[in-house]
Structure 1
Amino acid sequence: MRNVSRCGVVMLSVILSAGLASPAAAKEPSSEPEHVGVLDAAVESLTGDVYAEPSRWRPLSLGTLFTEGWDQAWASPTRGSGGAPRQGWIGAANGVFYRLGLAAYSYAHDVGDNGDEHAGTLTLYTPFSRRFELRHDIPFVVNNKGSGNSYHTNVGDFSIAPRVILSESQDFTQSFG
């Protein structure tokens, strides 16, 4: 009798699991991200939850540079095939897109026997689609000695660099800019 009741519980569990799993199976992601238009892609890329669904990320090929990714919202890339996160290093060339802000500060003592130097920068990465991103470099303080042997504090030159992903796979990205 005990075996019969255990089999009944197992069968009931399987049936309930299948019933609960079927709505999720219906929401299975398509093989290509949704085409939402250039403006909607920019809004979703800048404000949407890009980390909630890693399955939204898809590879991009060089052959579809002019036809794919421009009207699709950016999604954070998945981990590489070895399990490592797709990320860059501060101060190095960036291989992937981000939606990120980085603040950096540096101090150097007695630079060239001409006193101390301070520098602060803010870098903002703003993806507008799967293919296009702007990088904003904002040096908000530069302090060092000038020619009159007195310290000068200034704001550096604000720069904007457009970046385009040429191709992207799980382990490799080619970008321009």
Structure 2
Amino acid sequence: MSSTPGSYSLGDILYLSAIGTNKTPFTRLGLLNFGEGWLEPWIPPPNGELHLQRGGWVNTASGFFSREIDPAFTFTAGTSGTRDAYQGAASLFVPLNRRLQIGLFVPFVDSLQHAGSSPSETSFGDVIVAPQLMLEETETLSLSALFAIRTPTGETKTGNDRTVLTPSLAIWQDLPAGWQWRGGVGMDFSPNGREGPFPDENFNLNLAAGNTLTRHEAAPFGDLTPYLSANLNQFLGGGPNYTFFSLTPGIRFFLGWHTYFITGVNVPVTNPKPFLPGLTAVLSRGW
């Protein structure tokens, strides 16, 4: 297997990116050298000047690449007019080269609980496939473009069976004093037009910041990072004009053995509230 940049076979690139170890020194990627990186295996960037880890948070955009599988559980409390909801899901992220990554979100259980005259309903959810393109990457910055495709693999009774296309931009940046920030901006488009209570177009904006308090070696509380994520969703196109804003305080820390625990509480701020605060817990396993 060659380790000279530009001399990898397609099999080398896919193997080293997905499961292997690429010992090639990290080099910057940017728009000015956009032709580079396509024929090279993924190189995990160094953890920045302050050794902060690139890692996912609940309800935040991720502008970086990673190799991980993330089983997750979410409980959302209903209001007087909506039902409690449970979801069991798993996300998988696999780089294919230095420029392209594939993300996969599989909600294997979506469940709405009995409330009033509404019965309990349970089904498989809508699978989301998300190619991600790295635009700019340094030791302290990752900027990427995503195109998420929600596929109608679930059932209407649980709010699924929908096709949604979501182009977006996402960014991550290392800041002084143990801080980092991230964010994203994008749009949801429904090719089939308005489906039930869901808008045919939706604008999404995310901003989040967190502070890492412990070093990576301090497992089971390594890289201890409390964070706060803010999300704005503006319904556009057909249907009512509705603005939804929520805050998600959370925490992420390293347990050991390439495993992180991540949790966040999604708190709706604007009225009318479609749900009460909901909890998400994630066990993230990288390799």
CA RMSD, 1 decimal = 2.3
CA drift of 1:59 comes to 1.3
**What is the match of residue 20 of structure 2?**
48
**What is the match of residue 10 of structure 2?**
38
Supply the AA of the counterpart residue of 1:165: M
Give the direction of change, closer, same or farther, for the CA distance of 1:86–1:145 in structure 2 (3 Å limit).
closer
* Greater relative contact order structure (CA < 8 Å, 6+ sep): 1
Question: Contact 2:134–2:144 (CA<8 Å) still a contact in 1?
Answer: yes
Does structure 1 residue 137 correspond to structure 2 residue 105?
yes
CA–CA distance in structure 1, aligned partners of residues 122 and 13 of structure 2: 40
CA–CA distance in structure 2, aligned partners of residues 107 and 90 of structure 1: 13
Question: Contact 2:137–2:143 (CA<8 Å) still a contact in 1?
Answer: yes
Does structure 1 residue 57 correspond to structure 2 residue 26?
yes
Match of 2:52 among 81, 84, 100: 84
The 4+ residue runs of structure 1 with deviation greater than 6 A are none
**What is the match of residue 183 of structure 2?**
none
Q: Whose helix fraction is larger, Structure 1's or Structure 2's?
A: 1
**What is the match of residue 128 of structure 2?**
159
Does structure 1 residue 101 correspond to structure 2 residue 69?
yes
Does structure 1 residue 112 correspond to structure 2 residue 73?
no
CA drift of 1:153 comes to 0.8
CA drift of 1:34 comes to 5.3
Question: Contact 2:89–2:108 (CA<8 Å) still a contact in 1?
Answer: yes
CA–CA distance in structure 2, aligned partners of residues 129 and 149 of structure 1: 47
Question: Contact 1:143–1:151 (CA<8 Å) still a contact in 2?
Answer: yes
Does structure 1 residue 75 correspond to structure 2 residue 43?
yes
Question: Contact 1:80–1:86 (CA<8 Å) still a contact in 2?
Answer: no
CA drift of 1:116 comes to 2.7
CA–CA distance in structure 2, aligned partners of residues 56 and 33 of structure 1: 10
Structure 1: tracts of 5 or more residues without a match: 1-29
Q: Whose strand fraction is larger, Structure 1's or Structure 2's?
A: 2
Question: Contact 1:141–1:154 (CA<8 Å) still a contact in 2?
Answer: yes
Supply the AA of the counterpart residue of 2:79: G
CA–CA distance in structure 2, aligned partners of residues 34 and 146 of structure 1: 58
Rg larger in 1 or in 2?
1
CA drift of 1:42 comes to 1.2
CA drift of 1:106 comes to 1.2
What is the aligned residue count?
A: 142
Does structure 1 residue 170 correspond to structure 2 residue 136?
no
CA–CA distance in structure 2, aligned partners of residues 80 and 35 of structure 1: 28
CA–CA distance in structure 1, aligned partners of residues 33 and 134 of structure 2: 11
CA–CA distance in structure 2, aligned partners of residues 131 and 63 of structure 1: 13
CA drift of 1:89 comes to 2.0
Supply the AA of the counterpart residue of 1:158: V
CA drift of 1:146 comes to 7.2
Q: Deviations over 1:26-78 (max 9, x none)?
A: xxxx9x8454133421122112035xx4x63221121121x211111112111
Match of 1:126 among 94, 101, 123: 94
Supply the AA of the counterpart residue of 1:121: A
